[in-house]
Amino acid sequence: MPLPSGAPFPSGGAGAGAAGAVTAALGELRARFAGIRHGEVASYIPELTRADPDAFGLALVSMDGHLYSAGDARTPFTVQSVSKPFVYALALAELGLDEVSAWVSAEPSGEAFNAINLEHGTGRPANAMVNAGALVASSLVPDTPDRPRFERILAFLGRFAGRALDVDEAVYRSESGTGDRNRALAYLIRSAGRLPADPVTATETYFRQCAVRVTAVDLAVMAATLAHGGVNPVTGDRVVTDEVAARVLAVMATCGMYDASGEWLLRVGLPAKSGVSGGLIAAGPARFGLASYSPPLDAAGTSVRGRSAFAALSERLGLHLMLNPALPGSTVTLVTTGEDPPPGSGAGERGRVAVVAAQGALDFTAAERVLYGLDEAGSGGAPSVVLDLRQVNGIEPVAYAMLRQGLARLERAGHHVALADPAGRLGAPPGGEGVPPGGEGAPAGGGGPSSGDALPDGGPPVDPPLVGPPNFASRDEAVARCAREGDGQRS
């Protein structure tokens, strides 16, 4: 559940504790870039000119909900265009991707945030991050007598932030009083048949959306919620599904920084969204949410200090999306082919039992590495193969199906197969003789394929059903069992 307005967030600490090193790193970045003096505070909304040009705050929230901040991270300001990804998420959650895409595209525009330009032939705005697309996304949110559209938007933004938010009425009035360009956009989109609301209503809702009051801490929590697959890491509230969060991050990555999106993705490499009040967010999927506040903007409408700090942090910590910090062999920790005895066994096991050991969470990519290791192990002539999963902490359904298929193939090729899988993630609990796929050995929380060894896409099994191999609490037990079975086969 959302925290009440003003509730404190868990802090990573700024003192002498080990976690204080993260806060110190943010403080160093702030100190490094606080002296930047170029950039202009937004003036086309008169009330925004009242912002302190020297204000500069940074905040980071981890996937465990730990908060780290430096400088003016709790100074309130209006969210402006940083609201756009989250309202787009609400539209996707309410209507689905196909319906939303019929009204607004997802292509980079290569133009400024307030460009007057619609897709030829359809009249759709280019994407939901530019003003034209944001007006459409906001208008797609359901509007009912018992729950008006803006009430839904405000509550939804609050769930992302983990606390109740409110509107800066002075900024709203200032924005509404000078918002003729956005009104013109709304009428143009309406004339093209792509605005599902009255233009006046649509623009007033959008102005109020942009005037919602936040802090850099709030924005870091909001970005972290997207990075965490739609689950707020502070409150534990599932705000949107994994699929919605992924789609929003994809549009942020390609369109979130307007006509500077390509340069941003090239140099910083993180899904991001800027706002003309000086807010800036970035999300490291499954890693963190990052936010800054500093009012002076560059020509593209991005906070100058925030942009510099995010770029430096990305380079320093290797945060670019296209960098793969996982070493190719990190999933498979051991492969023996039978020519050498498995670790911990005697020389008598030479040539009789091969071992493959894996660690971590197994997804499609990790499962492919394990399967390759099983092939390598089985190619050395050993009649038996042990798959050691003691250090595995999770198996996704697609990986579960792939591994069961791989073990079935080894058995049909004449190998004895056993598991060292005390958690029962792939087979029956230790001591059992195996279970059909999708039985009690299936992955917790989602289950493996329910019949045969079908991949979880609704298609038929690739191979006949496999009764799972015997499972043991330790690798030594599994090796000893396989060795005995091999002796029995030879006798």
| Residues known to be catalytic | 81, 84, 206, 258, 276
**Tokens standing for residue 425:** 């993630």
Nearest-angstrom CA–CA distance, 374 and 370: 6
Q: What is the DSSP string of 156-225?
A: HHHHHHTB--EE-HHHHHHHHHT-HHHHHHHHHHHHTT---S-HHHHHHHHHHHHTEEE-HHHHHHHHHH
**Tokens standing for residue 195:** 């605005």
Measure CA 420 to chain center.
32
Tally of residues, the chain: 491
3-state SS record for 151-168: HHHHHHHHHHHCECCEEC
Instruction: Please report which helix (H) or strand (E) contains residue 479, including its range.
Output: helix 475-490
Nearest-angstrom CA–CA distance, 141 and 38: 38
Choose among 1, 24, 29: nearest CA to 12: 24
Choose among 365, 347, 6: nearest CA to 163: 6
Rg, C-alpha atoms of the chain = 27
The SS3 of residue 260 is helix
Taking the CA atoms of residue 107, residue 113, residue 118 and residue 119 in that order, the dihedral angle to the nearest 10 degrees is -10
What are the distances in angstroms from CA 331 to CA 48, 187, 226, 328, 387? Answer: 51, 55, 26, 7, 13
The answer to whether residues 139 and 104 touch, using CB atoms and an 8 Å cutoff, is: no
The SS3 of residue 50 is helix
What are the distances in angstroms from CA 365 to CA 164, 361, 450? Answer: 40, 10, 22
The SS3 of residue 140 is helix
Choose among 282, 280, 287: nearest CA to 303: 280
What are the distances in angstroms from CA 445 to CA 17, 124, 425, 469, 479? Answer: 36, 40, 11, 22, 30
